[in-house]
Chains A and B, each alone.
Chain A
Amino acid sequence: MRNKAVFALIVAVIPACAGAALSNLPSLRLPLAATVSYAACAFFLAGICLRVLRWASIPVPFCIPTTCGQQKSLVWIRPDSLDNPSSGLGAAMRMGGETLFFRSLFRNTRCQVANTRAIFTESRWLWMGAIAFHWALLVIVLRHLRLFVQQVPASVLLLEKIDTLFQVGIPGVCISDLVLLAGLSFLLGRRFADPVLRYISLFSDYLALWLLAGVAATGLLMRHWSRVDVAGVKQFSLGLATFSPVLPHNLGSLFFAHLLLVCALVAYIPSSKLMHMAGVWLSPTRNLANNSRAVRHVNPWNQPVVTHTYAEWEAEYRDKLKEAGIPLEETDVEATYSN
């Protein structure tokens, strides 16, 4: 298992090294950086669209929500409209709970077995780690928006202001960076420390985390150690966004390592488990209302099957049915007599 983690680390280091090497090739820096960035973006967008369209093109033959609360039945029994939604609106709210607050993960328990007893304890660590990581990542991505538009929107500026509320250091330390680091360390650490997680983890589980860690590490080093020229970065990213790439000379190897790690991560997303960010919206056990007895769910390919019809059944058991006094179909009875 350890091999997978180490091997994944080695693979994740490759883009960082490539970036550092690139920064030392003055004539190739711009064309390569631009090409790689565009390729990664194209791969990301096309890949995500393809994956989502493919999922969406597959039918949902049956209405199979996992119900996690009381159904809507008799008027005097209060239904759990969030965990067992009976309408589309309820299902949408359930999805909101899943995607914004990781509701299902929030339920998590830990079960230990000792002396032929199962002991359950609430276990919110995974939920905390996951929610910290994902929300921090969202804030960081939003903060990066200011690099891609000339006029930075007020909302992004406000977000950044809140994020550096502590006003420690110059440039200020972002809360989201710290939270992201803590979340990532937890998610990675548990894959090392927990024997169950070690056993189930694949190479790709480590790779995704190492890439994210690499992106975060190079980003933080740029901001707080090498003090990258933000104006220069913005010049580059704006150039990319307007399809007229330029590359200021003062961007060093850390920047290129960061850039290539981001490109690697972004290009990796469509073919990886990171597609859960899109897939969760399509999950039929969560996004359907539990109303399959009230509203007929239609299966577009409803498979025709061979059944054992009543007529065949009655033909086989006619004598026994008659003897037992179980009513027969009249027409068949006549048919019997006429035979």
Chain B
Amino acid sequence: MSKPPIQIDLQPPVGDWADTSPEFRKGSWCYSATPQNLVQLGMPNPRQWQPSDLDWKLPENWKKTILDGMKERLAKFRSFRLFMDICVRCGACSDKCHFYLGSGDPKNMPVLRAELLRSVYRRYFTLTGRIFGSLAGARDLTEEVIKEWFYYFYQCTECRRCSVFCPYGIDTAEITMIGRELLNLIGCNINWVLDPAANCYRVGNHLGIQPHSLKDNLEFAADELEEITGIRVDIPIGKKGAEVLFVAPSADYFATPHYYTLLGYLALFHEIGLDYTFSAYASEGGNFGLFSSHDLMKRLNAKMYEEAKRLKVKWILGGECGHMWRVIHQYMDTMNGPASFLEVPVSPITGTRFDNARSTKTVHIAEFTADLIHAGKLNLDPRRNDRWKVTYHDSCNPSRAMGLLEEPRYIIRNACNHFYEMPENTIREQTFCCGSGSGLGTDENMEMRLRGGFPRATAVRHVKETHGVNLLACICAIDKATLPTLLDYWVPGVEVAGVHELLGNALVMKGEKTRATDLRGEPIPAVEQEAAHA
């Protein structure tokens, strides 16, 4: 590619931000949702339009709809009203956002992203705003404001990094979620969110792969695993009475490099003899509803408990996914629980009772596997991962909406010999988003994605230069889908893998043949050496 490299300038312009409006430059926004997807999900104002159009074909009463929507949400979410009221504009959040650091666009500072909504809130919902107008930081709601909301609320990945630093815990994810809900009321949504959501809703997974093809894919994975290990694994789908329902992000079945993580899960479940089942109905744990509205999140998430109940499993095990875990950890039980038909999860292999999941009855696979390793139930040969110098990228949601920090690291340390942390301001709760989360990982949005991924990439480049890191491990399906492109641009030569791919490589299975390749089908250097010695 001979495109000019991305330039970044963080110097803010002079003048008043309220006087500026966004330019819908190619590469910095996502296509609108197709009318079919809106119809499928029963959402308002389906029509043909694009954000670059002058006329957005808003419904006639759009202004009333938005203001009514704000009023309703101000009464339903304490977070919303509080975060509208208490910001002091101290600026601590300003340089915490990956989109601001990558674009230099001041409205990508979390404080101003929220002000876009706050200014309208003040104008219509506070006395001072009504009386003093712009002096009190209030703005009229116009079509220009709607366009600005669209531009900037679809330039936030709801990663919550700013919320870590805010002295009042103001969470831009809450503000963006409400902002997007409001936009949804008048049909301003993006296809990269609603297409997967519609597919998940109707078919069961984000690509809309039908049940029989899902089964083919899983069978194909079993074939491939057999070729590598010499062991045929059984993959139950919709098996009633299984102990555990396993739900992964559906990218794991269809996309690369997610697929190698799937092979890792399959090898692990076979090795420990887990009585589990996949589901074709609830084959998607990832929840693109989260990126649209609380209602849509609930509609998609409902499938997990419904299927667990139908299949009469004891508990649910969840795969490697970021926002799926935000939903499971912070929303599922509240929205679709209580799951009284399930039991408190107990690992059938180690007997460990997962008390931290005693109400939701859903365990993260990193917790499950870390427990197996700690109990000495797995025979691991980390040398099989010796070609990798690994770093670990904390995914936003498991780190900042859960605190799953040590479990994946423990697995990596046991499955790999070469593990290096990125600088401390870029990992754990301070981790940087891949820049493509919350439904923004589409190709027409590439420039913004590359910009948003810049802070993460610069930290990866640091460990590449200091330790020769060539693999970034993570536990998020969106990371796996989007980081390869991003790293290719900023740090060529670093690949992306799931933690359970590394585990699957290291896992010595009972009765397996000498593995010639890893799960990617690449030769294992240690084996090559042994062969040479023989």
Which residues of A pack against B, CB within 8 Å? 1, 7, 51, 54-56, 58-64, 66-74, 76-77, 79-80, 83-84, 86, 98, 102, 104-105, 107-113, 116-118, 120, 126, 130, 190, 194-205, 271-273, 275-276, 279-280, 282-286, 290-299, 301-303, 305-310, 313-314, 316-317, 320-321, 323-327, 329
Contact = CB atoms under 8 A, between A and B. Distances in A.
28 contacts: A1-B14, A58-B78, A61-B76, A62-B330, A66-B160, A66-B163, A69-B403, A77-B407, A77-B410, A86-B356, A104-B165, A118-B455, A120-B426, A199-B106, A202-B89, A203-B136, A204-B136, A272-B128, A284-B82, A286-B169, A292-B360, A299-B334, A307-B303, A310-B310, A313-B202, A316-B202, A326-B212, A326-B237
A197 B455 CA distance: 22
Contacts of A284: 78-79, 82, 169
B168 A283 contact: yes
B523 interface: no
B334 A296 contact: yes
Given A104-B165, A111-B455, A283 B92 contact: no
A305 B299 contact: yes
Contact of B12 (A7, A77, A199): A199
Given A62-B330, A310-B310, A305 B85 contact: no
B272 interface: no
Nearest to B9: A113
Contacts of A201: 89
Query: SS class of chain A's interface: helix, strand, loop or mixed?
Result: loop
B13 A63 contact: no
Interface string B301-330: 011001100100000000000000000111
B352 interface: yes
Contacts of A84: 403
Contacts of A321: 211-212, 280
Nearest to A198: B12
Interface stretch (B108-116, B245-253, B513-521): B108-116
A68 B204 contact: no
A169 B334 CA distance: 62
Contacts of B215: 324-326
A326 B294 CA distance: 32
Given A302-B335, A309-B306, A324-B215, 10 more contacts: A62-B331, A64-B171, A66-B400, A80-B403, A104-B169, A105-B167, A273-B89, A276-B86, A286-B168, A294-B356
Contact of B333 (A271, A280, A293, A306): A293
Most chain-B CB neighbours within 10 Å: which of A74, A77, A284, A306?
Answer: A74
Nearest to A273: B88
B434 interface: no
B210 A317 contact: yes
A130 B406 contact: no
B357 interface: yes
A194 to B, nearest CB: 7
Contacts of B92: 104-105, 108, 126
A279 B94 contact: no
B13 A279 contact: no
Contact of A299 (B6, B335, B370): B335
Contacts of B298: 303, 305
Contacts of A295: 359
B91 A200 contact: yes
Given A307-B299, A324-B212, A113 B306 contact: no
Contacts of B406: 70, 77
Contacts of A70: 403, 405-406
A231 B165 CA distance: 46
A196 B101 CA distance: 13
Contacts of B299: 305-308
Interface string B344-365: 0000000010111111101000
B5 A116 contact: yes
A113 B101 contact: yes
Given A105-B92, A286-B169, A293 B356 contact: yes
Contacts of A113: 8, 10, 101
Most chain-B CB neighbours within 10 Å: which of A67, A205, A314?
Answer: A67
Contacts of A105: 90, 92, 165, 167
A334 to B, nearest CB: 16
A137 B243 CA distance: 60
B209 to A, nearest CB: 11
B404 interface: yes
Q: How large is the interface on B (under 10, 10 to 19, 20 to 34, 35 or more residues)?
A: 35 or more
A193 to B, nearest CB: 12
Contacts of A290: 402-403
Contact of A294 (B12, B307, B359, B407): B359
Nearest to A64: B330
Contact of A196 (B91, B329, B402): B91
Contacts of B135: 7, 203
B166 interface: yes
B294 A205 contact: no
Interface in B388-410: 399-407, 410
Interface in B10-52: 10-17, 42
A317 B211 contact: yes
B379 interface: no
A324 B403 CA distance: 40
Nearest to B79: A284
Q: Which 6 A/B pairs are nearest by Cβ-Cβ distance?
A: A71-B403, A279-B86, A285-B169, A324-B212, A67-B403, A286-B169
Interface string B209-234: 01110011000000000000000000
Contacts of A205: 88-89
B77 interface: yes
B128 A271 contact: yes
A257 B213 CA distance: 79
B167 A102 contact: yes
Contact of B164 (A63, A104, A130, A309): A104
Nearest to A283: B169
A280 B168 CA distance: 5
Given A80-B403, A107-B164, A273 B87 contact: yes
Contacts of B210: 317, 320
Contact of A74 (B88, B407, B455): B407
B334 A196 contact: no
Contacts of B216: 324
Contacts of A297: 333-334
A113 to B, nearest CB: 5
A316 B212 CA distance: 13
Interface string B440-481: 000000000000001100110100000000000000000000
A44 B143 CA distance: 37
A299 B79 CA distance: 13
Contacts of A64: 79, 171, 174, 330, 401
B371 to A, nearest CB: 6
Contact of A303 (B10, B14, B15, B294): B294
A55 B112 CA distance: 23
B425 interface: yes
A280 B167 contact: yes
Interface in B458-508: 458-459, 461, 490
